[in-house]
Amino acid sequence: MPNKKNALKALRQIKKRTIVRARIESKLDAMLHQIKKSLAAQKIENPAELLSTLQKALDKANKKNIVSKNRANRLKSRLSKKLQSIIKK
């Protein structure tokens, strides 16, 4: 355990940030899983809406330093390519 006041405060802050970060990561993972599952089944009702919500979530996670910029861009690019290939069929 920390011995100083500022170390105790830092520990409290870290715990709060960890909880928030885990919540955002789990929501993002659930969204990615849902989109990949629907892409595999090729049952997509609103592909543009689905992609825009995912892009918005990835951008927010990137802004809060939960997901790196390159990873967010890579995921957006790959999923948009897959959606376009399904739409063309």
Q: So what CATH class is 5-88?
A: mainly alpha
Q: Give the integer Cα–Cα distance in Å for 12 and 85.
A: 47
For residues 51 and 83, the answer to whether their CB atoms sit within 8 Å is yes
CB count within 10 Å of CB 54 equals 21
User: What three-state secondary structure class fits 89?
Assistant: coil
Q: Of the candidates 80, 22, 18, which has an alpha carbon nearest to the alpha carbon of residue 47?
A: 80
pLDDT at residue 89 above 80?
A: no
* Average pLDDT rounded to a whole number, residues 73-79: 94
Q: Which residues contact 72 (CB under 8 A, 6 or more apart)?
A: 58, 59, 61, 62
pTM over 0.85: no
The full set of domain ranges for the chain reads 5-88
pLDDT in tens, 8-57: 999 999 999 999 999 999 999 999 988 888 888 877 677 778 888 999 99
Q: What is the pLDDT of residue 10?
A: 96
